[in-house]
Chain A
C-alpha cells in the first residue's frame, strides 16, 4: 500500500448512523476475485435508484464532492460484514480517510491494513463536521492530528503499529514473517495441539 503521511481535503458528509457494509458495497458485487475497480460499486444503491438513475440528492452525486478525500459519516460506521471490499471500494473511489465517532472493529482493522484512515473524533467536533459539509481539513497522520479551519487541533486515537505501517506504506505480513522462529517454537512447545 502507498504511504500516507498527510491529507488536505474538503469533506463530504453522510449524516447517517450505523452505515453498514451492505450499504457501503452490496453483496452482489462480492463475486469479484480482485481488489480493483470496486469504486463504481461504492454506496451503489444509495447513489443510484433501481433503474440505474443517479439519485441527485445523495451527497456523493454532487460533482463538487468528487475530489474530496475525506468522508464524514454518522456514528458506528462500517458495522456488519467482514468484507474487505468495503475499504477497497472507499479507496478505489478516492477516499483516504473516514471520520466518525466510532467504527466497527472489523471495518477498522480492514481499513488500516489498506491505508484507509479511520479517524475517531469527539461528539461535539463530529456534530460540527456533520453540520458543515465541505469543511477543509488537514490531517497529520504521523502525529494523529486533524486541523480544523479555525486552527483548532484535534488528536485522534489510533493503534501505534497501524499508524507506523500506514505512514511507512508497509504491509504487516512481512513483519509477521520475521517472527517465524517464535511461531515455530510456539507450535513445538505448546501443551496441546489443535
Chain B
C-alpha cells in the first residue's frame, strides 16, 4: 500500500486475515453481521447439515423486517402474516436464532425494525467496522465510516460459520459534492442526482467515498440516505469519513463502548479519514447548489430528472421500453402525472427526520381524494419517537395510513403492494418493473416530494408549499 491511503483502504487493511494473492482472494474479518428472515434460512440449513456452530453470535444481530406485516394491531402475535411460506420463514428465523444463540430483535422487541435502521439506532454501526448483511442496502452503514456491503446467502453462511469472507479488494471512487443544498432539496435528491450522473453501473467494482462541503453539512440520517443508495449506482459500498456529527449521533446509544472504552474508540474514530494526498481510482464532482427536487421517470434509479424538467426523448430500445412501462410522455415534466399511491418509508427514507419532512408538508393539509398514502416507520423506535412528537396524528388526520415498522411497500413482499398500472410516488430506493407489485409504476422521490404529491394528487414540487 502507498503511504497515503483512502478511508476505505484503511478499513480494509485493518481487517485482512489472510492477504490476497493472484490465486486467492483476501480473507476479510467481519465485525458486525446483520441478519434477517429472507436471506438466511438456506444458510442456517447449511450449518445444520454440516454440524457447524455460529462462530461469533455476539457479533451477529438479527431482526425481522422484509416479509413482516405492517398493519396496525395491539399485538404482533395477532398479525396475519401474508401466506404460509412467509409465516414459515418467520418461524424459522425465531428457531434458528434460538438454536444458534443469536440475539433476535423480533416481534416482542421495542427495537425491531428495518435492519439498516436499527443497526445505527442501537449504535452497533460504528466507524471503522466491517459490516455485512444479506441485503444490498447494507451500504447504508457506510454513513458511519464503516465498510458495509451486501452479500448473498452463501456468504451469509460463510460469515455465520467463520466470521470471515473471501473478497477481492474493490477499487475506489470519490464523489465530491461541493456547495450547499438549496432549501427543500434533500439528501434523497442529491443521491438521485449522483446516480443520474454516474449511471446505475457507474460504481460497479468500486467503493464510493462521498466527500466535500455538502456531505459534511448533512446530519447522520441524511448521510444514511446517501450511502444507502450507493448500490443503486452499482457500487460495492459507499462511505463517509466520521466527524463530530458521527460521534455526536453515536454518543449514549446502547451498543457503543462505555466509559474509558468510549474515549478510546472516539480517538480511533477521529483518525479514520482519507489522507489528503490519497489517490482514488476514479472521481466525479457535483455542485449541490445547482440541484432541485429529483424524481425518477423510468425503471431504474439512474433514469432521473428535476421534478419540473421534461422527460428526455433519447435512448435505445431498453429506454423506450422503460418509458412505455411507466406510461410517461417524452417532452413533458413528471409533475403532470396523476398519483395513485404515496409510500413514505424504507431503509432509504424511513427515519424520524424523513417522517418529519413529510409531516411538515402534510400538517393542516389533506391527502388528495383517490390517493392512498402509507407511512411506514423504519423501526419501532422511530414509530415511538414519531408518536411522541405527534407526527402520527398529522398523518392520520391528513388521511394517510400509519403503520408498524418494516420494509413494506419498498419491495411488496409482505402484502403491502401497489396495484397494476397504478403510479406510486415512493421514498424507497428502486423503481424496477414490478418492484412494488406486478405492473406497479414507481417514481422515486424525497419524503417532501412524496408528501407534496400526496396533497396535490399529482407529482409535485415541494418548494411550492412554502
Contact = CB atoms under 8 A, between A and B. Distances in A.
B201 A110 contact: no
Given A20-B300, A80-B136, A26 B438 contact: yes
B32 interface: yes
A136 B191 CA distance: 43
Contacts of A164: 23
Contacts, number: 185
B27 A50 contact: no
Contacts of A194: 31-32, 59, 126, 129
A179 B29 CA distance: 12
B103 to A, nearest CB: 14
B412 A176 contact: no
A18 B300 contact: yes
B297 to A, nearest CB: 15
A76 B435 contact: no
A96 interface: no
Nearest to A15: B317
A82 B300 CA distance: 16
Contacts of A17: 316, 318
Interface string A80-122: 1111100100000000000000101110011001100000000
Interface residues of B, number: 75
Contacts of B166: 161, 172, 175-176
A20 B29 contact: no
A32 B39 contact: no
Interface stretch (A54-62, A145-153, A180-188): A180-188
Contacts of B66: 30
A173 B136 CA distance: 21
Contacts of A32: 41, 85, 89
Interface of B: 14, 17-18, 22-25, 27, 29, 31-32, 38-39, 41-42, 45-46, 50, 55, 59, 66-67, 83, 85-86, 88-89, 92, 126, 129, 134-136, 138, 150-155, 157-158, 161-164, 166, 168, 170, 200-201, 204-205, 231, 234, 236, 264-265, 268, 300, 316-318, 321, 411-413, 420, 430, 432-435, 438-439
17 contacts: A16-B321, A20-B432, A20-B433, A22-B432, A30-B66, A30-B413, A31-B89, A33-B92, A74-B318, A76-B234, A81-B135, A81-B150, A105-B204, A105-B234, A179-B162, A186-B17, A194-B31
Given A33-B89, A183-B17, 4 more contacts: A22-B434, A110-B155, A176-B27, A176-B166
